[in-house]
Structures are given as C-alpha cells and as structure tokens.
Amino acid sequence: MDHPPKRLLSGWKQLSHAGDDTPVLLRYSTAFVIVVIAAVFRVVLDPLLAGRAVYIAFLLAILATARNGGVGPGLTATFLATLTCDYFFLEPRFNLAMRDRDDIDGLIFFAIAGIGASVFAGRLRSALARSRHEEQRLRIVSNTIPQILWTARPDGLRDYVNERFYEFTGANPGEGLEDRWMAFVHPDDRLRIFGHCARVMEAGTDCTCEFRMRRRDGAYRWSECRMVPSRDASGQVTKWFGASTDIQESRELREAARAEAERFRLLVATAPGAIFQWQLRSDGSLAMPFASPAVREICGLNPADLTEDAAPFLDLIQPDDRAATLEKIAESARANSNWRGEFRVLHPVHGELWIAGHAAPLREPDGAVNWFGYLSDVTETKRAELALRDSEHTIRTLLNSASQAILAVNRESKIVLLNPMAGAMFGYETDALKGQSVSLLIPPEIVESHPQFYADYFADPHTRPMGIGTNLEAVRRDGGRFPIEVSLSSIDTAAGPLAVAFVTDITVRRQMEETAKSRAAEINALARRLLTAQEDERRRVSRELHDGTCQQLAHLSIEIGKLAAVAPEGTRSQLRALQVRATQAAEDARHIAHELHPAILDDLGVVASLRSLCNEVSHAHAIAVRFRHGNLPPSISREVGSSLYRIAQQSLQNVAEHSGATWVMVGLVWQQGNLILTVRDDGIGFEPEKIRGSGSLGLIGMEERAQLVKGRLIVSTRRGRGTRIALRIPYQADAT
C-alpha cells in the first residue's frame, strides 16, 4: 500500500541536500594540484615542444579547475599558473624578473585569458549545476507524487517514467521502456488504448483515457491517463508528457453511485405509486419540484408542469376534499409532523380516483418546508372497502336469515358469535349464549372428551363434516336432545382463530330416513318374495314343460313314426315331415324349459350349472368361454345359487351380443366369508352410466339381484380394454 505523506517527506529530504557544493578547501586545493600537474606535464613535454606553446597545458588546467571548482578556484589556478610559467619556464628561469618584452606581453595575455576562461568555465559550471539541481528537484518531486509520470518521444515511445511506475508494476528499472508499458495494460483494453493513442498522436491533441493496469500483485486497477504534447516554435510535437492516476476507488464510488442511481430509478419506476417532493415556499406558494413518472397515471399531469407551481394538481382535487387536504398540509408544516391524507382527484381520462399520500417534512433555513413521500391510487381499495361493507351487510343478512344454527367458538371453547337461529334451535336468547362454553349444548357423556377434540382441531384446522351417518346429538335448554349434523370450518381473526360450526337440526330428516328405511326394507322383502315366487314359478313351468309337454311331444313323434312306417307311399312323406316338426317342437319346448330354469341347478348345484352354461354359450356363439372355481362351501342356498346363475347368465348374454370378445373367463371362489363371481372378457368395453341411462334392464336387473342377496356388483370397464364384472356376496357355510 502506498503512503504519499511518507514518500513526500523522503523526497523533500533528498531535495534539501540536492544543491550542496564541494567543500571550499577541497576546491582550492584542487586548483593547486591541477596547476602542479600541468607544470609536470609541461616539464615532461618541454623537449618535444622545444619551448613552444608554454601556456597551453596551464590554460587547460585553468579551464579544468574553473569547470570543477568554480570562478574562485579558476582565478587561483590562473594566478598560480602565471607565477609558475614566469618562474620556471620563461627566461631567466627560476627568477620572477622578465627582460623580454614578448614574454611579458605573452604572460599578460595568458593571465587575461586565464581570468576569462575561469569566469566562463565557472559560470558554465554554475549553470550546469543549477540545471542538474533543477533536474534533480523535478525528479524527486515526480518520484514523490502518487501518480505515474512519463514522457515520450514524438513517435510515442516512452523515454522516462518515475519511480511510481516501477513501484506500481514491479517492473525492473533496468529494462527498456519503449513498448513494454503496454504489457501492463489489461488485454481487453490494449487494442482500444493503442488505437486511441495512435489517433491522438497523429492529431497532436490533448487527450484523457481510462484503462486497467496490472499492479505488481497481479491485480488490475483502473487508471486515468492524461497526455499533453510539447511543441517547438514551428508547432511540431517535440515531446509528450503524461500522468496516470489510480482511479480504482473513485471509479468504484462512481459505479456505486451509478448503481445507486439506477436502483433509485428502478425503485421509482416500480413503486406502487408516485414518489414526490412537495414544497411550501416561504411566500406561501406550493410547488412539486420532483415527481416520478407515475404521477401521470395518478392525475394525468406532466411532472415537469408542476416543478414551479402545484396549482394544476390542486385544481384536480375534488372541491369537497381540497380544503381539508390543504389544512392537513398546513398543520403538518406547523407541527413539523408527517402528513397523511386521502382525497379524490378528477383524472382527465379515468374520472374520479381516490388518492392516498404519506410524506415526511423537512424545514429549510429560509422557512420553506419540503415534504418527501409518495402518492398512490387507492381507488380499487376504496371500492373494495365499499364492496366489503356491502358484503358484510349481505353476510349479516344471510346469517340472520339462515335456517342453520351458526356458532363461532374460540380456543377456550367459548361462543363468541352466533346467529338468531342458533338461539332458537337451542332454546336460548341469542345474547345469553355469547361467552358461554359450547359444552352447554353437548350431551354430558361426551363433555369430557370435547376439550381434547377442540385442541386437536385448532392444531390442524380444516373443513370437516360431523354427524353424517352417525347419531350425533345436541342438547336444548330444556334438556331435550335432537339429532344434528355439523359442518366445521375455521377462520382467522385478529383475536385468533375461530372454529365455525354450521349446525343443522335433522330431526325431521331422521324421521323421514327411518320411514324410508322401513319402506325400503319392506320393498326389498317384497322384491325378494317376488323373485323367489318368480323362480318358483319358472321352476314349476319348466318342470311341467319338461315332464309334460316335452314327453307328450316326444310320444307324438314316435307314434307318427309308427304310422309313417305302415302308411301308403303317398302319405308316408307327409307323416315323416309331420314327425320332424313334432320332434322340433319337443326340442324347442325342452330349450324353453331349460331357459326358464335349468334342472341341473337343482339337481347338481351351482358349479355344474355354471359349467354347463359356459359350454352352451361357447358352442352357440363360437367364443372361448372358460370356467374355473376354487374352494366353495359344501352347499349354497337356492336363493344365492339362483342369483349367481342368473347374473352369470346375463353377463354372458351381454358378452355374446355386444362385446365382440374372443374369450371369456368365468370364476367362482369363496374367500373370507364371501362368494365371489367374476366374469372377464377382452371385448370393446362400454360406459356403464350411458347403459344405465339408456333404460336397459340387463345391468339394472343384475344390480337388483345382487342387492336382494346383500351382495355388491362391481363393473370395471374401459373402451377398448374389455370388461370385468365382479359379484361379492357375504355367505357363511351354514347359511343354507
């Protein structure tokens, strides 16, 4: 993490020592040393120079001294060099006296040149020192600021970056900068930034751009780069100067602000009403400086038309509500309290609308008051309230006129609500039952279990009937009991859940049911006797046909055969034809007798008769009919056996005539005290309800026969899936 204050302090410490000079003694000592060195060189080179160019080495020494030590050491070197030349190298040597006018002029010229060289070299040194000092100051300053500073050549290649660049990126200062800086730009931003920089440099204009730059830890952070060109007198770009600032936090704040603004926009757009600012100015005028677009739906006005003057909005408020609304606003301003209100507006399109509002005030220093809140269209709610009042009135009327007793009971089994019929049914005044325990209306023998029943019901409240098919009773005030049916449901109220009982006095219905049961029993008994009589009559007629008519017809056929044997040739053929007809009549009579009542049912029992029936149907209709039976009682009563046979006979007849089946399976078993007859086929199936509705007596007759022996007939069938008929008759082995 960067610490700009520490970096700045370190930079100023460096800057405070950047202009220190070399110590004075050292600089002047250097002048003496350089003159001595020049004298030595002059002595060494004297044979080669042969006395020529006496002053060249010393002039160079003066320049070097002034360049490194300044004007003072340069002048000192000039003085020392002049004395040295005069004493050691001019005639007479080792003597300061000079006799040659040319030597004197040359020495004076050398002294003047040395002084000039000292001044020139000293000033040059000072200028260079100041330049280095300023450059060092600039470098220190550039290294102490938190931005990355850089310069680039006119073609855009970087030639300088400050230390902040290396600290941020972790790059090696010894590596070249020309194009490596682009390696630290996010890959997704490189092409954009490269193109942008190329266009800017081609145009030679200032620019600012944003991109992501890789930090030394590998994280990318947003930077803002500002680059400015430097031009020469002709206007050509000679240098580019740039600064990159880490804007990650500011960008995050900007993005957060943008997201917050977007959330506010979405909130305003999706709020179930209009968000608004209401303003009461110090001069008493009203305005709506801000209103969300939803205000258009509420009052049909453009929010921009209300920013300076709220009069158009006030004009839409119904006159009956306007004064009260303004008074509430004024009261809110005086008391600095929240404003709440409901009023009607006349919408230009939707007509009269109910508007509800809520706002909090904020008083300004100049005395103005701003309210911030919302307005919502509550027209539907108002209509619902009116409808609810009407509904409550209707419900109250229905409760009061209901023929059922209606009681609402709380968790403590206390009656909290009841209708007039409840009082009349139980023999109490309506108000007298309120607050009483419901156990007052319950028979004593079940009072103890009733609290547990209510606890269980309130633990899992649901609609459920009570008393249907049972002998549920209630107790009147006089102690009399009467049968009831109860429909129990629950409702939630502010005081807690209530169990609501709809009680019906079924005394009259119970009496009618008892009468109906008695009549039904009589009808069943009569039907049973009729079927028994019918079967007996069928048996008698069948026996008479078999033993009487069939025998007589057979005897007649034999006698006719005898006559035909002795009759003349012309009569014989007629008698033979008559014999055939008599034989056929006998066979038809036998078949009728069998259909009325098969003798095998009485002689051999149900199993043999059902097997014979299956064989007959199979041969007559070319259907594969199989019969299987399991364990059966030793004997089956005539009544039950007759019902089993007739239902099987009707079922097989239906299969043969209507189903189109290719096979039929008939089964008879005795399981768990029940005789079970099943007839199953692979036919086309049918819809039982349509068959019953068509008036067909086959299925109805089968069901009635089953009921007469206390059996149950179950028909399972689907179109194209065949049919299964099952008859279940309760039967004990000793039922015969």
Q: What is the pLDDT of residue 16?
A: 37
Q: What is the pLDDT of residue 143?
A: 66
Which residues, 6+ apart, have CB-to-CB distance to 193 below 8 Å? 182, 185, 209, 211
Which residues, 6+ apart, have CB-to-CB distance to 87 below 8 Å? 93, 94, 95, 96
Q: What is the pLDDT of residue 142?
A: 63
491 pLDDT band (50/70/90 cuts)?
confident
Lowest mean pLDDT among 193-202, 586-595, 636-645: 586-595
Cα separation of 620 and 655, whole Å? 12
Q: Which of 379-383, 559-563, 694-698, 702-706 has the highest mean pLDDT?
A: 379-383
Q: What is the pLDDT of residue 679?
A: 92
In tens, the pLDDT along 313-340 reads 999 999 999 999 999 999 999 999 999 9
Q: Does position 527 have pLDDT exceeding 70, yes or no?
A: no
Q: DSSP labels for 199-232?
A: HHHHHT--EEEEEEEE-TTS-EEEEEEEEEEEE-
Lowest mean pLDDT among 250-264, 417-431, 523-537: 523-537
Q: How many whole angstroms from its chain centre is CA 253?
A: 29
Contact of 472 with 484, CB cutoff 8 Å: yes
Cα separation of 679 and 675, whole Å? 14
Reference 627, options 601, 594, 649, 657; nearest CA is: 649
Q: What is the pLDDT of residue 468?
A: 66
Q: DSSP labels for 477-537?
A: TTS-EEEEEEEEEEEEETTEEEEEEEEEE-HHHHHHHHHHHHHHHHHHHHHHHHHHHHHHH
More confident: 146 or 588: 146
Q: Does position 173 have pLDDT exceeding 60, yes or no?
A: yes
Q: What is the pLDDT of residue 370?
A: 92
What three-state secondary structure class fits 447?
Answer: coil
First to last CA, the chain: 107
Q: What is the pLDDT of residue 546?
A: 60
Cα separation of 558 and 518, whole Å? 58
The angle formed by the CA atoms of residues 187, 191 and 192, to the nearest 5 degrees, is 110
Cα separation of 437 and 411, whole Å? 11
Q: What is the pLDDT of residue 63?
A: 79
More confident: 539 or 488: 488
More confident: 701 or 547: 701
Q: What is the pLDDT of residue 161?
A: 84
Average pLDDT over residues 538-564: 70
Ranges of H-type helices in 668-728:
688-693, 697-708
Burial of 409 (0-12, 13-18, 19+ CB in 10 A): buried
Q: What is the pLDDT of residue 13?
A: 41
More confident: 119 or 349: 349
Q: What is the pLDDT of residue 295?
A: 85
Q: What is the pLDDT of residue 14?
A: 41
538 pLDDT band (50/70/90 cuts)?
low
Q: What is the pLDDT of residue 1?
A: 42
Token pair for residue 653?
């007849």
Lowest mean pLDDT among 265-269, 273-277, 536-540: 536-540
Q: What is the pLDDT of residue 626?
A: 92
In the chain, % of residues over pLDDT 70: 83
Contact of 251 with 257, CB cutoff 8 Å: no
More confident: 387 or 131: 387
Lowest mean pLDDT among 294-303, 588-597, 703-712: 588-597
In tens, the pLDDT along 136-152 reads 676 666 666 778 888 88
More confident: 534 or 291: 291
Lowest mean pLDDT among 83-87, 308-312, 433-437, 673-677: 83-87
Tell me the pLDDT of the chain averaged across its residues: 80
Q: What is the pLDDT of residue 380?
A: 87
What three-state secondary structure class fits 239?
Answer: strand
Token pair for residue 508?
């009259």
| Sheet containing strand 274-280, strands side by side | 286-291, 274-280, 369-377, 351-363, 339-347
Q: What is the pLDDT of residue 667?
A: 92
Q: What is the pLDDT of residue 591?
A: 63
Lowest mean pLDDT among 11-20, 285-294, 476-485: 11-20
Cα separation of 71 and 69, whole Å? 7
212 pLDDT band (50/70/90 cuts)?
very high
Ranges of H-type helices in 336-480:
379-401, 420-426, 430-433, 450-459
Q: What is the pLDDT of residue 596?
A: 62
In tens, the pLDDT along 50-106 reads 555 567 777 788 878 877 777 788 788 888 888 887 777 777 777 766 557 777 777
In tens, the pLDDT along 612-650 reads 889 888 888 888 999 998 888 888 887 888 888 888 888
Q: What is the pLDDT of residue 361?
A: 92
Q: Does position 18 have pLDDT exceeding 50, yes or no?
A: no
Contact of 356 with 378, CB cutoff 8 Å: yes
Contact of 683 with 691, CB cutoff 8 Å: no
Cα separation of 649 and 642, whole Å? 10
Which residues, 6+ apart, have CB-to-CB distance to 462 below 8 Å? 489, 490
In the chain, % of residues over pLDDT 90: 12
Cα separation of 725 and 76, whole Å? 143
What three-state secondary structure class fits 450?
Answer: helix
Q: What is the pLDDT of residue 548?
A: 67
In tens, the pLDDT along 410-434 reads 888 888 888 888 888 888 888 888 8
Q: Does position 270 have pLDDT exceeding 90, yes or no?
A: no
Q: What is the pLDDT of residue 11?
A: 42
More confident: 540 or 228: 228
Average pLDDT over residues 477-495: 86
Q: DSSP labels for 592-659?
A: HHHHH--HHHHHT-HHHHHHHHHHHHHHHHT-EEEEEE----S---HHHHHHHHHHHHHHHHHIIIII
Average pLDDT over residues 29-50: 74
